[in-house]
Amino acid sequence: MTSRLHQFADAFVARTRDDQLLTLSEGFIKVRCAEVALGLGWTIQEGAGHSPYGPVADYASIRAGRVEWQRQSRRLKLSEGSADLAVVDPFEMLLEIKARPDYGTKSQAQFQQMDPDVARVAGNSQCAFLFVFDPKIYLSFSGEKSETRGRHPAAHHWFVGSFPKTGQLVSDQWITIEAPRNEGSPPICMIARRCSHAYGDATILVLGWRSDARF
């Protein structure tokens, strides 16, 4: 297990233990992830457009107990698209975030929206993903959903073949899975667990990165 991501994962669980509505907003999850990263002493990058000298970014870190921002040339970026959260120090990581709730407008599996994040991680050792699920919708990803309607999209097969069954998920303990993605390329390493919340509900977290990543 990559020690920095293990730290991050444990701190994220502790930070969100009281967040019963966690899965309703990926933006909210990003804020929590940023808080955790800053709390671990990391520096995060937020894109801030262009200057006459090229792309710039705002960099946040904790100084004397408060968040301090500095604008400088952009250090970390993808060749296409953007990541939800960028860490630039003491290591570099681009984190993709997706949430799937049991209720509300996003309460559908929509594998085709999550599969590009997996593909990006499989193709880039600087990338990682964090998927946050409510328990019922997770059954679609673990292949345990009893009702089936229509034909599954192609992306469905990788998730069902790779994600652990709910019976394997343990509260207060991460399990580790390695899942091949691209033939001839390093597999994706994932950790997953069920997280009980202070008021009785739960979420399921899956954090993944390429097995040769240097996090």
Domain boundaries, the chain: 3-210
**What pLDDT, on a 0 to 100 scale, did the predictor assign at position 98?**
96
Residues sharing a CB contact under 8 Å with residue 94, sequence separation 6 or more, in sequence order: 76, 78, 83, 85, 86, 87, 124, 126, 127, 128
pLDDT digit string, tens, across residues 4-43: 999 999 999 999 999 989 999 999 999 999 999 999 999 9
- Listed range (80-84, 148-152, 169-173) with the worst mean pLDDT: 148-152
pLDDT digit string, tens, across residues 151-207: 565 678 899 999 999 999 988 799 999 999 988 889 999 999 999 887 778 999 999
- Cis peptide, bond prior to residue 186, ω within 30 of zero: no
Q: What is the mean pLDDT of residues 133-151?
A: 83
**What pLDDT, on a 0 to 100 scale, did the predictor assign at position 109?**
74
**What pLDDT, on a 0 to 100 scale, did the predictor assign at position 154?**
66
**What pLDDT, on a 0 to 100 scale, did the predictor assign at position 147?**
65
**What pLDDT, on a 0 to 100 scale, did the predictor assign at position 151?**
56
Two tokens, residue 28: 């909210």
**What pLDDT, on a 0 to 100 scale, did the predictor assign at position 101?**
94
C-alpha 137/C-alpha 89 separation (Å) is 35
**What pLDDT, on a 0 to 100 scale, did the predictor assign at position 55?**
85
The pTM of this model reads 0.92
Cβ neighbours of 129 (radius 10 Å): 22
C-alpha 12/C-alpha 29 separation (Å) is 9
**Per-chain mean pLDDT for the chain:** 90
CB 164 within 8 A of CB 158: no
